[in-house]
Amino acid sequence: MRWEERINNYVKETGFPRSLFIAEDGRVVGTWIMGNDYRVRSAYYGGYPATYLRRIRALFPDKRRVLHLFSGHVDLAELPGDTVDINPALNPTYVDDAQTLKKVPLHLYDLVLADPPYSVEDAERYQTSMIKRNLVMRALQRLSPGAHVVWLDQVLPMYRKDIFDVEAVIGMWKSTNHRFRGITIFRRRERKEASVIAAAPSHTGVDV
């Protein structure tokens, strides 16, 4: 599905204003102002704001197998899928560390939503250690080509440019006194494409 179609579907399905655009370099850029409906329905610390999952679902109507990484109390009625969290008390599909994802058959999923703790202070709220983002992105390299990763954070994680493309960046505003966040949407590149680029020294552009 092309991004133009994704954006059209987003406007049609959500009724929100057209706020995503294809820039001249082909990348999608935009801003979501979450407005008054920014509450976290589950009341879980750091949970997705009310309309977040509906917006993502509308952008990816073609996806069949969704994985919620750092799943917390994610609302599966809004976007059904399997879940991964390190905390067994949350009853995820997989109790696993996102930095290795040893138990997760990643090749089966075509859309991953990741919502990590953003800081040491945030991690303390979950009684976990702060994650190393590059390790999570490294584990996600096992996704199949064409799979997308929707990463919500205050930091752009380190990733390999020969393995992931950044297809979209979306700024997310809540209400006053809330932190700004950014959504980075990665696509797992085709294997052939990745190996050709890896073999060409002038194109490696590797961050990790």
Interacting residues with ligand SAM (CB under 6 A): 42, 44, 46-48, 70, 72-74, 84-87, 97-99, 115, 117, 126, 128, 131
Supply the minimum distance, in Å, between the C-beta of residue 177 and ligand SAM.
Answer: 18
21 or 45: CB nearest ligand SAM: 45
2 or 120: CB nearest ligand SAM: 120
Supply the minimum distance, in Å, between the C-beta of residue 158 and ligand SAM.
Answer: 16
DSSP output for 22-78: E-TTS-EEEEEE-TT----TT--TTPPPTTHHHHHHHH-TT---EEEES-TT--TTT
Secondary structure of residue 198 in the 3-state scheme:
helix
Interhelix angle 52-59/3-14, nearest 10 degrees: 140
38 or 126: CB nearest ligand SAM: 126
Supply the minimum distance, in Å, between the C-beta of residue 47 and ligand SAM.
Answer: 4
58 or 67: CB nearest ligand SAM: 67
**CA 40 to mean position of chain CA atoms:** 18
**CA 41 to mean position of chain CA atoms:** 20
38 or 44: CB nearest ligand SAM: 44
88 DSSP assignment: G
Supply the minimum distance, in Å, between the C-beta of residue 50 and ligand SAM.
Answer: 10
Instruction: Decide if 205 contacts 161 (C-beta within 8 A).
Output: yes
Supply the minimum distance, in Å, between the C-beta of residue 9 and ligand SAM.
Answer: 23
Distance (Å) of CA 96 to CA 85, 100, 113: 6, 8, 15
Nearest residue to ligand SAM on Cβ basis: 72
2 or 77: CB nearest ligand SAM: 77
Supply the minimum distance, in Å, between the C-beta of residue 4 and ligand SAM.
Answer: 28
Secondary structure of residue 9 in the 3-state scheme:
helix
